[in-house]
Structure 1
Amino acid sequence: MPNRLLPALCLALFTSGAFAQADQVTAEADAPTEKILLVGQRPGPGLWKVSKDDHVLWVFGTYSPLPEKMEWRSQQVEAILAQSQEYLEPPTAHAKVGFFLGLTMLPSLIGVKKNPDGATLQDVLPADVYARWQPLKAKYLGDDQDIERERPIFAAQTLFSAGLKQAGLSKGYEVGRKIDGIVKQRKIKVTETGIKLEMDDPSRMLKEFKKSPLADAACFSKTLARLESDIDAMRVRANAWAKGDLEAIQKLSYADQESECGDAMLNADFVKSRPGFQNIKERVLAAWVASAEKAIAANGTSFAMLQMADIVGPDSYLSALKAKGYQIDSPD
């Protein structure tokens, strides 16, 4: 995790966990084996079309992980962006802390990733889970003793990132960066679609976080499960996205650790006591839908980027628009 303030720390976990990939929880027992990852330019999937009368919102679905050596380029996306009057950023939940307040909090960040009271992973994890951790740690992280004192949620994130890299996969951030570059180059109006979280006392929240235990053993265990049994299937899904094969993506279920890791933060005591941090998923969805409706009403053509799970998952953002009377057309 980047060395930022607690609000950014928490929210990075909220957005990567609570709003991340599909909420599928069953590991694919017979996942196909795929050792070769696609390279070169690839288009990804087509665009979803949300329309009312002659006004259209085009939606592009992002995915993670992706082949590390793949270069994403979609002529369809570039053409649609060239016609668009507004770009809706991906939905997030975030909080802002003033610069000078941030400086005063920096000393308190020391040890923020560590377990309370000097506990180690062996102290806080079930014995069978810790036994599974040791060979994976040796494989992906080597002899890293410092990580043994980190909270399971942070150790899991570090391990998973290392596992992806060794498997030739990346988080796929370059897709978003490329779209942002096109938007900036064409000077398209940019609209934030998320929510701001109220923080009355960030310093106190930081202190409470450092002292509070987290129910993050499930997050840790499911992260191990992904690396133990899902690497080949990750390659299949990554290639499927690169080729635009949505059917292949949807056929493969997996033990999703992201929702477990997000819940570990969202259900922690230092969050439960703060009204402004409640019902985040529902509020983010509602904020995005409201932004989408405004964009569709105001523009002939608009463009939005969502994670694939927010398009085809059980809590689809597009289903919420369909319920309001909008026409939804999937890619060909």
Structure 2
Amino acid sequence: MNYPRLTVRKLLIAGLLCASFACHADEPPAAADSASIGTLDTIVVSGEQPGPGLWKVSKDDHVLWILGTLRPLPKKMTWVSKDIEATIADSQQVILGPSASISVKGGMLGGLFLLPSLIGARNNPDKEKLVDVVPADLYARWSVLKQKYIGRDRGIEKRRPIFAAQELYGEAIKQSGLSLDDVVGKAVKKAAKRDKVEIIEPRVELRIESAGAAVKEFKKSELDDLECFGKTMSRLETDIEAMKLRANAWALGDINALQAMPYTDQMQACADAVLKASVVEERGLGDLRERLAATWMAAAEKALASNRSTFAVLPLRHLLNADGLLARLRARGYVVEAPE
């Protein structure tokens, strides 16, 4: 069966930006046997769902409320939380997750990592195919998953491993009743606009002097993306049902269940494959991960100093992991309280 294809560009913007923003997920704080989590192993919830509670960061009488976001989420879920809408309405600002844009001669590229996905740059150099650049055992695993989620598509065999892996990942997510769409971010912005609350979008502005030269260089360059490819295969072989459990847990506001389901996030390896490429590092983009984190931290601390109440969204792992941005705020002296 043929399914509408999620574009590689969309996946890289969403997934790699998350990974660049230090969305580490190798070892969440706690682990438990999956049997203790629940029985929704083959069901994805639908309808209106509240999502998790809010983390509270405070200093004196100034408060930053943070909602942890997760992707993928149930495709048919409508996120509704009257408590969160009330918190947004009572705040002076809403801080979104950080983003990056690239300016080039003649205009702007609409998101990070668009350069590699321009025409021709996402294919292997010298007309090589996946079977030529991927180890035989790994290619055999790819073939099984490709048949399951994509079917016959010879064009994808020309892709670099990172682009083939992301396209396969997108198809698997769609067919599992899940979605990579930013449902929460859209709802938060809608609520803020309705109540005329200022929206802050921490942004890193990057500039490429010669996009054409960069694309030509990227076409010829090698990417260390086999780790990205392999981890994506492993994720799809072992984690689809757990993704559904995590999506259900988020929708139902079950933070304990989310903490009890560790997994390896392939997006970190995929981001590194791009960020460490010479064509990227030589143009000053290699430290993007830290620049994104610093940009969000600056916005959060400014809001805490100026506003009585601020609402923010962050990837959930920044709230659960020991090296996340919530831990940075705690280390700088802010009082941090988890939701009950």
TM-score, normalisation: structure 1: 0.90
Say if 1:22 and 1:308, in contact at 8 Å, map to a contact too.
no
Give secondary structure in 2 for the equivalent of 1:95: strand
- 1:306 and 2:314 matched: yes
Alignment of 1:73-222 (within 5 A): 73-97=80-104, 99=106, 109-222=118-231
Deviation, 1:99, is: 4.5
2:324 is matched with 316
2:301 is matched with 293
Match of 1:277 among 281, 285, 295: 285
Say if 1:11 and 1:94, in contact at 8 Å, map to a contact too.
no
Q: Structure 1: which 5+ residue stretches go unaligned?
A: none
Say if 2:96 and 2:185, in contact at 8 Å, map to a contact too.
no
Alpha-carbon distance in 2 for matches of 1:25, 1:227: 18
Alignment of 1:6-45 (within 5 A): 14-19=16-21, 21-24=23-26, 31-32=34-35, 34-45=41-52
Deviation, 1:329, is: 0.9
Match of 2:78 among 71, 77, 85: 71
Give secondary structure in 1 for the equivalent of 2:120: coil
In the TM superposition, structure 1's runs of 4+ consecutive aligned residues that sit over 6 Å from their partners are: none
Cα deviation, 1:93-125, whole Å, max 9, x if unaligned, reads 3322354587xx99x932121111111000110
Deviation, 1:86, is: 0.8
Alpha-carbon distance in 2 for matches of 1:269, 1:67: 38
Cα-Cα RMSD: 2.5
Higher alpha-carbon deviation: 192-201 or 292-301 = 192-201
TM-score, normalisation: structure 2: 0.88
1:53 is matched with 60
Say if 1:219 and 1:261, in contact at 8 Å, map to a contact too.
yes
Cα deviation, 1:237-286, whole Å, max 9, x if unaligned, reads 11111111111111111122111101110111212223x21322222222
Deviation, 1:201, is: 2.5
Alpha-carbon distance in 1 for matches of 2:108, 2:69: 35
Deviation, 1:3, is: 8.6
Question: Larger helix proportion, structure 1 or 2?
Answer: 1
Alpha-carbon distance in 2 for matches of 1:169, 1:124: 31
Alpha-carbon distance in 2 for matches of 1:264, 1:81: 37
Number of matched pairs: 324
